[in-house]
């Protein structure tokens, strides 16, 4: 009976290539993704050039993005293979968006594990786009994006971006 159950599990399980079962071996990011404006309504989010560490432990990569002051409106790109270094996203002009790369490990019967990068804030415009400093970069990680001061700073950034 046990042999039958084991055979069924092995035959019906999905192929897992990237999951590294060893302790401490998870895909990580050395910094936020690089965001580049391609057109006024298109950006390229890059996570290559050494940003994604232990790439071999990831099965897929995708990008989460949301309006600067509305994280509850987060969207995700479709997952791409771990060998891909960037994803292009169609966006609205003059909207400050927060971008976060995510490496997903498929752990088979144990589900999935998402490993996220630090965030990058970028807004497009017809002059070529604008990177916004994040609190993580400005304070070397001593404050989170959820602290009261961060809401004030993000409100100021949002107001300034409307006039640029």
Q: Please report, for the domain that includes residue 70, its CATH number.
A: 2.60.40.10
* Residue 148 included in any domain: yes
**Better-predicted residue by pLDDT, 139 or 68:** 68
User: pLDDT at residue 130 above 90?
Assistant: no
In this prediction, residue 162 has a pLDDT band, given cuts at 50, 70 and 90, of: low
Find the domain containing 149 and state its range.
Answer: 15-163
Query: In which element (H, E) is residue 163 found?
Result: helix 148-163
How many angstroms separate the CA atoms of 91 and 114, rounded?
24
* Residue 73 included in any domain: yes
* Residue 94 included in any domain: yes
The reported pLDDT for the residue numbered 110 is 82
The reported pLDDT for the residue numbered 63 is 97
* Residue 30 included in any domain: yes
The reported pLDDT for the residue numbered 25 is 77
* Residue 69 included in any domain: yes
In this prediction, residue 141 has a pLDDT band, given cuts at 50, 70 and 90, of: very low
What's the total number of domains in the chain?
A: 1
The reported pLDDT for the residue numbered 125 is 80
Average pLDDT over residues 14-23: 56
Contact call for residues 153 and 69 (beta carbons, < 8 A):
no
Report the share of the chain in percent with pLDDT over 70.
63
* Residue 10 included in any domain: no
Specify which residues 96 forms β-bridges with.
Answer: 123
* Residue 78 included in any domain: yes
- Six token digits for residue 55: 């790439």
Of 69-78, 114-123, 127-136, the range with the lowest mean pLDDT is 127-136
Average pLDDT over residues 92-100: 90
* Residue 2 included in any domain: no
């Amino acid at each position: 009976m046990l042999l039958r159950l084991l055979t069924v599990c092995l035959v019906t399980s999905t192929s897992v290539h990237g999951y590294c079962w060893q302790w401490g071996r998870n895909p990580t990011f050395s910094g936020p993704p690089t965001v580049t404006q391609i057109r006024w309504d298109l950006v390229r989010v890059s996570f290559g050039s050494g940003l994604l560490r232990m790439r071999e432990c990831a099965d897929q990569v995708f990008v989460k993005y949301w309006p600067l002051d509305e994280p509850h409106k987060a969207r995700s790109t479709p997952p791409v293979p771990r060998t891909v270094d960037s994803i292009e996203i169609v966006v609205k002009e003059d909207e400050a968006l927060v971008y976060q790369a995510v490496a997903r490990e498929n752990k088979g019967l144990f589900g999935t594990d998402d490993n996220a990068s630090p965030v990058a804030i970028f807004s497009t415009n017809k002059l070529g786009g604008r990177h916004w400093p994040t609190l993580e970069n400005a304070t070397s990680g001593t404050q989170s994006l959820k602290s009261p001061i961060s809401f004030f700073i993000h409100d100021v950034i949002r107001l300034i971006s409307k006039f640029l």
